[in-house]
């Protein structure tokens, strides 16, 4: 399931994060790459142990916790601390699949990568190229969103970032270990939850609201690891 999460960050939030990170310590993006990705990846990445990266990551995490659409779509159990990357001058990231397990350097924190996320931090008219292209059974999907918007997609997906030929593409990226590891089950739960919310908004006293809510939570009990 690919889903756009609009306005994770407000425009002032984006401006604040960009002021924090733009002048920080950017390094070769392959510092966090696996063997497969290292052959395809050409970008810069904010040093994940820098104070700026940690503060900016905390701001992103705070925003995610307040966004009900993210919670509904990802059903997060663990979220990897957000990282930040930048593409410019023709840099790109060729076809790759994210590592199944993502450890955090310096401690024993690790997650299973069920859901991948890219949160855009540059307006699309400020750079050319840089589309995130995600392949699934229905073809290739090209994604280039306004600053503050985010795309969620299965971490099992083959994906790539097209070359940036003008300006700079700046984004935050991270992974989610979901309470429901199967993408098909997460999709069903998300669609059911969305239908319940729509029904509740129009006819909150309809008896089906209670019944469908019960079905939703019973499926969570059946499928979730928590």
CATH code for position 147: 2.60.120.620
The first and second tokens of residue 180, run together, are 């429901």
Residues 84 and 116 in one domain: yes
Of 195, 187, 225, the closest CA to residue 212 belongs to: 195
Residue 171 backbone phi and psi in degrees, to 5: -155, 160
* Domain housing 201: 183-223
From the number of C-beta atoms within 10 Å of its C-beta (0-12, 13-18, 19+), residue 68 rates as exposed
| pLDDT for position 59 | 98
| pLDDT for position 33 | 55
Residues 170 and 196 in one domain: no
pLDDT tens by residue, 96-150: 999 999 998 878 899 999 999 999 999 999 999 999 999 998 899 999 999 999 9
The DSSP symbol for 11 reads H
Residues 170 and 197 in one domain: no
| pLDDT for position 30 | 75
Binding residues for Fe cation: 96, 98, 159
Binding residues: 96, 98, 159, 169
| pLDDT for position 107 | 86
Residues 131 and 208 in one domain: no
- List the chain residues with pLDDT less than 50: none
| pLDDT for position 38 | 60
Residues 172 and 194 in one domain: no
| pLDDT for position 32 | 59
pTM of the model: 0.93
Binding residues for 2-oxoglutarate: 169
């Amino acid at each position: 399931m690919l889903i756009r999460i609009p306005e994770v960050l407000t425009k002032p939030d984006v401006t604040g994060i960009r002021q924090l990170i733009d002048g920080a310590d950017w390094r070769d993006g392959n510092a966090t790459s696996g063997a497969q990705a290292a052959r395809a990846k050409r970008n810069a990445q904010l040093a994940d142990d820098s104070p700026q990266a940690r503060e900016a990551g905390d701001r992103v995490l705070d925003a995610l916790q307040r966004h009900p659409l993210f919670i509904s779509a990802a059903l997060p159990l663990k979220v990897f601390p957000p990282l930040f990357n930048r593409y410019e001058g023709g840099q790109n990231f060729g076809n790759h699949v994210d590592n199944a397990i993502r450890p955090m350097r310096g401690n024993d924190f690790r997650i299973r990568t069920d859901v991948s996320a890219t949160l855009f931090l540059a307006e699309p008219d400020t750079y050319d190229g840089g589309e995130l292209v995600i392949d699934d059974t229905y073809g290739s999907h090209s994604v280039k969103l306004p600053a503050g918007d985010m795309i969620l997609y299965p971490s099992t997906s083959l994906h790539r970032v097209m070359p940036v030929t003008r300006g700079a593409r700046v984004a935050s990226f991270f992974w989610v270990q979901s309470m429901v590891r199967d993408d098909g089950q997460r999709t069903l739960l998300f669609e059911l939850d969305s239908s319940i919310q729509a029904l509740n908004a129009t006819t909150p006293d309809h008896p089906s609201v209670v019944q469908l809510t019960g079905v939703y939570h019973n499926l969570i009990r059946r499928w979730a690891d928590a």
